[in-house]
Every structure is written in C-alpha cells, then in structure tokens.
Amino acid sequence: MNDIRETDYIQRFLFEEHAVRGQWIALSNSLKELVAGHEYPAPVKKQLFKSALATNLLAETLKFEGRLTLQAQSGGDLKILLIQANHEHEFRGVARHNDIVPESEDIKTLMPGAQMALTIEPEGGRRYQGIVPMHKPSLAENIEDYFAQSEQLATRIWLFCGEDKAAGLLLQAMPEENDESGFEHLSQLANTLSQDEALSLDSNTVLHRLFHQDPLRLFEPKTINYRCGCSRQKSLNSLLLVPIAELEEIIEKEGKVSMNCEFCQTHYEFDAIDVEQVFANSGRDMQSDTTQ
C-alpha cells in the first residue's frame, strides 16, 4: 500500500465460508480537508466524520456509477449533516448547526425528530431516494434500520471516531443467500473491536485480529479522496437560477456578486461582465428578463 492508502482507504472483503461480505474504511487526511475552513463544534465534527465513514461504506456496497448522498435533517441544534460520495471514491460534505451544541454523541439529543435521506443518483439513470426517521441514538444503528426496512439486507456497521481520524467496519449478508447464523457469528466477533484498535491498526491487522478463524478473501484497497468538485464555472452557472434584476441590483450596490461554496468554502466573485456573459450564453435575453 502506498502512503495515501495507509491513511485514507476502503477495503472490501468476502468470507470464504459464509455468505457475508464486508468493508473496512479508514480516513484521516480527507477528514482534515472536510472540516478545513469550518468551525465545527466537537460533537458536530464527530457526527460529520461518522457520516463520512458511513456514506463511503454505503457507496462501496452499491457498485454503481454515480453519486450517493446521505442527508440527516432535524429541528435540533445539529440541523443538517450532509455527505456526498461517488464511485470514484471521492466525497465532500457539510454540517449546519446552532452556535451552541450539547456535548453529546446521541443523535436523539443533537438531532431530535431527525429524518435521514439516502439519495442515489446513477450517472444517466433515475434518481432514487429513501427516507427514514432516526429513532436510534447512533448513526450506525439508524443506517442498519434503513437496510433492514428498505433493502431487507442484514447489515451491521461499526463507526469509530478520534480527534483527527476515523475508521469503520461494515458487514452485510449477501442478498442471494441466507446465512443468518454465519452473519450473527461474524457480528459477535466484530463487536469485540475496541476504538483504540480501530483507530491505530491497519485493515489487515484488524481483520486478522477479528476473523482469523474465518478465511477471508481480501480485495485491493482503494484510496479515498476529499474532493468538492465545485468550480468557478459551476458557480457562475448557478446564477442563472437567480432573477437577473436581483443580480444587477447586487452588482450596482457591491460592484460584484460574491459566492462561497458551502462545502469547501472557496470564494467566488463575479462582475457585471461575467454575469452578462453567462446569461447571454444560456440563450436568455437579459433585456426581456429585466422587463418581465
């Protein structure tokens, strides 16, 4: 494994003698990039890290080309957790919260009455969204519930979070076979993993430590990268959604239109000519827009 994979990677594996598959994930550098430019309180940061682990684990189970979005939303102090991951093992995310957030790891305290939506956007395919209420205290348990209800696939997830790194494990029954006792046996073994071990050991060591009596087939680890994917051009195009009169008013007052990417905090500025050009290229007539 190269240096990057040692810090930010996902590794799939299969049990040779059970109809169960799994994935191990470890993140650190990408998490630093995820929170750069944001001032997240510690409990928010922790839930965001766990969401990043979970979303990357889920994207890897789907085996599709496109984007998976996990969004949890509530009226509580932690308002929104949002992570997007794609099949190229890139992800980005953002959280919204009140200034003061309780020192808690309990989702029901941080996000009372929350709902979680999982949205799958296959490239060139139809968008699919599943929404479930978050009745359980941890993100992992709520995702397990989601799989039990919507996919009817036995799934267990363990998420571990330190100051600047995080690691996670997923076990999932194979859809075509029913090996309940095997799944239960492997889940019991995985339950013995401690936070210290999860955060300090590499995947081979962890998997050997847990499952040395159950032969495993390991797949090549894949590097995971933080990547926002925003650009000056995409931000400029998004101005097309704003009435032109409103943009002209802003430019008259401020001399420019300023935008901050809500994910990576990159700052974009556009002047009157930029705005005029993007509207001209879109085929919309500025003159007729302003008089409407």
CB 37 within 8 A of CB 94: no
Nearer to Zn ion, 119 or 266 (CB): 266
CB 173 within 8 A of CB 13: no
Nearer to Zn ion, 37 or 133 (CB): 37
CB of 120 to Zn ion, least distance (A): 22
CB of 235 to Zn ion, least distance (A): 9
DSSP-assigned letters across all residues of 140-153: HHHHHHHIIIII--
CB of 71 to Zn ion, least distance (A): 17
CB 89 within 8 A of CB 225: yes
Q: Which phi and psi angles does 45 have, rounded to 5°?
A: -60, -45
Return residues touching Zn ion (CB under 5 A).
228, 230, 261, 263-264, 266
Q: How many CA atoms lie within 13 A of 135 on its CB side?
A: 7
CB 48 within 8 A of CB 21: no
Nearer to Zn ion, 93 or 182 (CB): 93
CB of 166 to Zn ion, least distance (A): 21
Nearer to Zn ion, 222 or 227 (CB): 227
Q: Identify any residues that bridge with 115 across adjacent strands, giving them in sequence order.
A: 73, 133
CB of 37 to Zn ion, least distance (A): 10
Coil, helix or strand at residue 214: coil
Look at phi and psi of residue 104 and say left if phi exceeds 0, alpha if psi is from -120 to 50, else beta. Answer: beta
Query: Which has the closest alpha carbon to 80: 128, 38, 121?
Result: 38
Nearer to Zn ion, 228 or 236 (CB): 228
Nearer to Zn ion, 207 or 261 (CB): 261
Q: Which phi and psi angles does 33 have, rounded to 5°?
A: -70, -35
CB of 92 to Zn ion, least distance (A): 7
Integer Cα distance of 97 and 80 in angstroms:
7
